[in-house]
Amino acid sequence: MIFETLFKKLQEDKFLTLETTPQHEPSMHNIIEKIRKFNLDKKVDGFSTTDNPLAKLKYSALFGALKLQQEFGKPVIATMSMRDRNKIALQSDLLGANDFDVRAILALTGDPAKMSDQPHTKGVFEANSLMLLKMIKSFNYGMDFAGRPFKIEPKQIYPFAVVNSYAKNFSSLERKMHQKIQNGAMGIISQPVFDVENAKKLLESFEKAKADVSDVKQASQLIFGLFPVTKLRTALFLSAQVPGIHVPQEWIDKLEAAHAISEEEEHKVGMQLSKDLFNEINKFHPKIHLMTANKYDIADEILS
């Protein structure tokens, strides 16, 4: 029932999820305690778990999702990466997760294996995230990716996908979103946005992308990724090093001026910029995925 409620909120209401990144340890205890400390489970509609981001070894996203659902009774979107699994492993994980009611899946292609902290790691990459979306679509029709029916039909799976938040040519983003919507993505989560005009332009592209996909015209929704920035160096790094993200010069200028005064002023200015953006986006499209790199005090500050 929790997933049906999440889907309904995404369609009709304000929608807010919080990203968690399982750690390099055999426990979700620290993350659970921090969520409890700030009562974040009362402030969001659900969570997400990341899947070994930057190809660094972490606790399983699927087990992390299960643990959070058991602890808080809130739906969790579990990330699955194409980097680490072939089509057998992907479907096997989907079947097992289905039995434990982990049924919201974020399909990702995944960061390159060469970034890994594990020696001589090889990426699988049988295909990109579209293949996983197609698998989920097959499961929702009661059969595996090879077209073989299951004796017991899986419970419905709710697929999510991602998209860059910025491009010089937005038609390229539109094309990618169209493919993901066509393959059943109920929600497309953007890379972090830092500018209202950028967000509005992305939303316009999304509406064009889903305009001629009749069977999911009403179903698929854009969810804005928000990443609060409280340090100048973070803004500079995102602006220069992360493709598909645009940090406005105004943010960099304000953070630079604050950085020259003090660390406290830098944090204060960054939080104010981030809060203002959160509030502005809530006015015209209140569907947000909050990413704080496990800094739950910052999530609390944004949501309080």
Kindly state the percentage of the chain with pLDDT values over 90.
87
- Give the predicted TM-score (pTM) of the model: 0.95
Could you give the domains of the chain?
2-303 (3.20.20.220)
Which pLDDT does position 211 carry in this prediction? Answer: 86
Using one digit for the tens of pLDDT, what is the confidence trace for 11-70?
Answer: 988 999 999 999 999 999 999 999 999 999 999 999 999 999 999 999 999 999 999 999
State percent of the chain over pLDDT 70.
98
pLDDT of residue 266 exceeding 50, the answer is yes
Look at 52 and 1; give whichever has higher pLDDT.
Answer: 52
- Report residue 239's pLDDT band, with 50, 70 and 90 as the boundaries: confident
List, for residues 121-176, the tens digit of each pLDDT value: 999 999 999 999 999 999 999 999 999 999 999 999 999 999 999 988 899 999 99
Handedness of CA 152, 158, 164, 170 (dihedral sign): positive
Question: What average pLDDT does this structure show over 78-103?
Answer: 97
pLDDT of residue 215: 65
pLDDT score at 218: 54
* pLDDT attached to residue 26: 97
Average pLDDT, the chain: 94
What pLDDT band is residue 216 in, cutting at 50, 70 and 90? low
For the segment 162-206, what is each residue's pLDDT rounded down to a tens digit? 999 998 889 999 999 999 999 999 999 999 999 999 999 999 999
- pLDDT at 117 > cutoff 80: yes
